[in-house]
Chains A and B, each alone.
Chain A
């Protein structure tokens, strides 16, 4: 048994930002299933929104975010996000972030979709990477105790509050119990439930599923963002910066088709709008090849591309064999961001006392039905910092009881993973089930949804769940037992898939990223509320309505 005052699970931007908030000498441990610098935050290219410029304002940022969210975002949380943004960016500047600069030497800012002002602070197109490494360095400086390649398996609750964590050390193949006064989940999104996704292999939603199993309330799981421009085939992200810096979308006829769908914002309309427009073009027979669209940067010239979009250029070259200064890049939309997650308040507290959550794993909710580019990186650092601060207040509380009943239960759950030898049904496998899940999610719970298909998806996912229940992995303390990890991750993902499909089926309207062909209009009288999900006694999800916080802006028609 290990003991720490504060335990942070997740070494991405959120977890690291929370960790560096603690003053030296605080007992902070950071558990991460991959080395922190490998976290998917590092793949973010575009930038961090903050109203820094004199002619921009926090109020504008708030309004853009509320409108982008299709009025489902909680306006009090959005105000917190936008008003703390500039201060956090300056703090990151002091910590050593290599921002790209204006001629005057200030952090430069660029346009991203849905914004009325160029307000994303960036480092070329490695913005996430640059900040992730800076925060990792600060965590080393602060003496944060890092446990790399340790996997959270289960949360241990005693007397209704968090008392500890059951954790698996991949290198030794052993379980550990970690006791703590307070813990933060900063475990990122669950994009890997979709076959076509920009997300890395580690984004399997562990923390979200584990919190749900422990009784935490989740919310807005039906809202999944599909990014319009991912490389055709591999779905590697081509940053929105490519459009922010002047790229065009063209159909087979070479036409800038966004004129048809968002005449004012054109390519820089929000992602849900652009993704639907692309699919509509393809559906109407104006796509290229077997179903893609061109992202044209050729008019920008090699010089500008190399200066502002080096990574975009490199990715297109390597994975699509295209020189982006000469030839358009073939792209298709793919899953990109999980708006839903663990329901938290502005102090990042979940419904479980002693447990906080922040970043992509949480739903606070600043993104509502659709996230704007540049807002989730900002969310990681603003709410990561808030979580860190809140935990410092909470460590003064008495130590929770030692996990006993909860530990026994967790250990018996753990044992259920194992069987003698290979999987019991030798013709089935984690890989096969996972492939089916990804296909169902992308085909039936994607950009365009219908009640009929969503119902089918729910039934098919239930079948996958029973197939999964028959699988076992070999027992034993193996180091780097990737087989066991694959097995656990699939269990988390199946749970989240069912809730995503279930919440999408239930919501009979279209709002933000959730588009129902059979209910194509937004319906405020019936649906202007969050979807709250908790686990029933029978283990099945129970769906309820939760109120949306309004401060300044009443719902309007959302035109771009």
Chain B
């Protein structure tokens, strides 16, 4: 089977603006979008995109595939094109394109850093956490910092989407000295958080369903 991959390309050294280039690649039914991108790179070794784990756990390969922001390694070609034909791939929206499908992640990580994204271990913690509480922490802790939620659910407030997920993860952790205080900085109403929770569950590649969290 053949697939026409339409990739948005841009090289700051030679181009004034992004353009679309079509690659024709052979394709098999079990293959992911990352697999076909790697084939495209054999045709043009200069084609740039990030990848590392190829199993949906490192967060490197987030991009816009057929108008939806998602992970290339976790998206089967057949799920987005049916029987093949054509597939359009662009860099993650809302991020600055550096080259081809590579975007600038510095603002993303800087936004994360602003919420003090670490457990500030309180003095009273005895090292024990019940399995129920630990399950609540585990869900948002599966976040792979891929950036899809920042691309798909832009936040107006001071706290960006992925940073908000980190905030929730820390707010439900009994070890953390700030705990639910952390939710104040997000400036979200209970309703706003609920909407975010639903949106996130639909778009997050890890399917993160945020646990309930106390909001003052």
Contact = CB atoms under 8 A, between A and B. Distances in A.
Interface of A: 34-35, 37-40, 42-43, 90, 93-96, 98-106, 108, 123-124, 126, 129-130, 133-134, 137-138, 140-141, 148, 171, 200-202, 233-234, 236-237, 311, 314-315, 318-319, 321, 429-431, 476, 478-483, 486
Contact of A126 (B98, B121, B142): B142
Contacts of B30: 233-234, 319, 321
Is the contact region of chain B dominated by helix, strand, or loop, or is it mixed? Answer: loop
Given A140-B118, A480-B102, A126 B57 contact: yes
B117 A42 contact: no
Contact of B58 (A37, A93, A233, A431): A37
B99 A480 contact: yes
4 nearest interchain CB pairs? Answer: A96-B119, A105-B128, A137-B118, A480-B48
B107 to A, nearest CB: 13
Given A38-B50, A98-B138, A108-B131, 15 more contacts: A37-B144, A37-B145, A43-B53, A94-B175, A95-B119, A95-B121, A99-B134, A101-B130, A104-B128, A126-B138, A133-B143, A137-B117, A233-B30, A429-B42, A431-B45
B207 to A, nearest CB: 9
A430 to B, nearest CB: 7
B34 to A, nearest CB: 10
Nearest to B79: A318
Contacts, number: 153
A13 to B, nearest CB: 13
Contacts of A200: 52-55, 58
A483 B128 contact: no
B56 interface: yes
B161 interface: no
Given A101-B134, A236-B55, A486 B45 contact: yes
A40 B60 CA distance: 11
Given A104-B128, A106-B127, A482-B41, A38 B52 contact: yes
A96 B175 contact: yes
A479 B12 contact: yes
A221 B13 CA distance: 42
Contacts of B131: 100-103, 105, 108
Interface string B40-70: 0110011110111111111110000000000
B45 A483 contact: yes
A233 B143 CA distance: 27
Contacts of B176: 96
